[in-house]
Amino acid sequence: RDVERSRGLGDVYKRQQFESIEEIRAIQRLACAADEDVFLHSPDNAIMVDAKSFIGLFTLDFSKPVNVVTESPYVIHQLTCRKA
């Protein structure tokens, strides 16, 4: 499945492959506009970064898909629509 619910929490996550810096900047804009928090996690969840953190994003390897984790249905919907 493309979108999963986190272990009984309100968080929803979507595995997302970012192909360009423009796509990363777009998730930052979505995160800044959302009322809910938006995080990016490494595939193994060892690294968790606030999507609004420019510096924090340097810790992730974007050559692999990352998990976008949020309670925001709007953010998940926007990501799903972009890749459709």
Tell me, what's the pLDDT at 10?
A: 57
pLDDT for 7-60, tens place per residue? Answer: 444 568 889 999 999 999 999 999 999 999 999 999 998 999 999 998 998 999
44 token code pair: 């193994």
Cβ–Cβ under 8 Å, residues 51 and 39: yes
69 token code pair: 């984790």
pTM score, two decimals?
0.81
Cβ–Cβ under 8 Å, residues 61 and 42: yes
Residues in the chain: 84
22 vs 34: CA distance, rounded Å: 18
